[in-house]
Structure 1
Amino acid sequence: MRRIIPPLIFGILGCAVLISLGVWQLRRLEWKESVLAEIEMRIASAPVPLEEAEAEYAPVTLSGEITGPALRFIYSGTEEDIVAAVQTEAGRRVIVDLGLVPARPMASAPPELPEGRVEITGNLVMPVGRGGTLHLDQSNAWAARELGNLAEVLGAEPVFVVARQIEPTIPGLTPLPVSAEGIPNNHFGYAIQWFGIALVWAGMSLYLIRRTLRAKD
């Protein structure tokens, strides 16, 4: 019987570690769901002036003029995301994601944006682009969003607002409001993976114990 003690201990310890990792992921799932619920509540709360907002996803309002060239971001095969700087009436220059327009040939110029005062309601976010912001060509087409690079290109503060309503409306442009749906929450899948590995580990341990017992016979 002593010969099966090492594989038995090996199997029990391995299963214990793997199961504990699965349980940890379930706890992380509960935490992430509470965070997402809080974000959804924050997104849906009443907007405040941009100068009073602090937390990410906070609803804000701002008034000013859209200035400088617009940047086109590849959103899908049929749509582009338009980002531009807004000079606010409070004297700030911030970055605003205005929304989606139908995709156009890469060499075409960005869409014309309205002159004069606009009122924007949206949410503060922190965009992160993989590998930084990649400029594709001379028509202000870009492949990723990275806040520091955008601020430098647009000559604006590193403050990013995603519009959900623009007055007056911009013809052909559809705002893309912020939501928590795009925030990853894969902890349940990770938990299933750990529990599955624990099951395989248990099976392999039992197989090893059986082989050890047969070898003894």
Structure 2
Amino acid sequence: MTRPPAASVRSLLPVTLATLAALAVLVGLGVWQLQRLAWKEGLIATLEQRVDAEPVTLADAMGRAERDGREIDWLRLRVPGRFVTSDTLYVYATQDGMAGWRAVTPFESEAGRTVLVDRGFVPDTVLRAEGGGSPPAEGPVEVTGLARIHGEGQGPFTPDNEADANRWYWWDIPAMARALGLDESGTVTGFVVEAEPGAWSGAGPWPKAVRREPALPNRHFEYALTWFGLALCLVGVYAAFAVSRLKGRDE
């Protein structure tokens, strides 16, 4: 068996170095996606624990929010108090493929803090025909729901909020508090309570509260397979090229 000439091997050096560099990048991206997978699975498990846990008090939720606002997203809590006004804001949303609005009404807790309560979904057709759903229950009630930060802000293709027309296309809690005549700096919490179905919701079918679960996209394993697959393809292409080049030199 003859060994390839040294000149033939040296001719592969630039391609070999470039292949090794690209291979390192592809493998590194695959490993990074596996690390992201572990992080995302841990985050999903944490959120699922919050949703399924016994509800905490508003004071407990506020304490966690002061330490780290991310600790309260999807946290289940129970707030006794009363709805302070029948004024309701409508935030655009879709549910089961239907366009509509989330009905958001201020709620004063027994401790004196005001919380914006998301009472549920109202189809756009109902809002246009009837001006919205039924008003909230009167008198003392106890609302159980999930704390939601809604910190995404306005997206690049999201319309501006129309406060005068009561059409909100993204969550802006300070502006919403001002629209309701509330002093957001002193008494309004920085999160919304997405209410679960309950007796507080009023007599009519809308707004309809549905307990929702966190649905975070998790495709990191697919991405990792893609990067590792590209790395294997690169090795195969390099091997075929190298064999072809060396055979050509031998001839």
- Residue number in structure 1 paired with 2:171: 145
Q: CA deviation at 1:28?
A: 1.7
Q: 2:200 aligns with which of 151, 163, 168?
A: 168
Give me the whole-angstrom Cα distance separating, in 2, the residues matched to 1:150 and 1:188: 39
Equivalent AA in structure 2 for residue 69 of structure 1: D
Give me the whole-angstrom Cα distance separating, in 2, the residues matched to 1:203 and 1:197: 10
| 1:126 paired to 2:149 | yes
Equivalent AA in structure 1 for residue 235 of structure 2: A
Q: 1:59 aligns with which of 76, 92, 96?
A: 76
Q: 1:103 aligns with which of 124, 127, 140?
A: 124
Unpaired segments ≥5 residues, structure 2: 1-8, 65-70
- Residue number in structure 2 paired with 1:70: 88
Q: CA deviation at 1:104?
A: 2.2
Q: CA deviation at 1:99?
A: 0.9
| 1:87 paired to 2:108 | yes
Higher strand share: 1
CA RMSD of aligned residues (A): 2.7
- Residue number in structure 2 paired with 1:21: 29
| 1:193 paired to 2:229 | no
Q: CA deviation at 1:214?
A: 6.2
Unpaired segments ≥5 residues, structure 1: none
Q: CA deviation at 1:74?
A: 2.4
Partners of 1:135 and 1:142 within 8 A in 2: yes
Give me the whole-angstrom Cα distance separating, in 1, the residues matched to 2:79 and 2:139: 14
- Residue number in structure 1 paired with 2:51: 43
Please say which of residues 203-212 and 153-162 is displaced more in the overlay.
203-212
Distance 1:39 1:203, change over 3 A: same
Partners of 2:118 and 2:192 within 8 A in 1: yes
Q: Which has the larger radius of gyration?
A: 2
Partners of 2:29 and 2:224 within 8 A in 1: yes
Equivalent AA in structure 2 for residue 86 of structure 1: F
Give me the whole-angstrom Cα distance separating, in 2, the residues matched to 1:200 and 1:152: 58
Equivalent AA in structure 2 for residue 50 of structure 1: L
| 1:209 paired to 2:232 | no
Partners of 2:126 and 2:132 within 8 A in 1: no
Give me the whole-angstrom Cα distance separating, in 2, the residues matched to 1:210 and 1:183: 46
The structure 1 segments of at least 4 consecutive aligned residues displaced by more than 6 Å after TM superposition are: none
Q: CA deviation at 1:138?
A: 4.8
Distance 1:139 1:14, change over 3 A: same
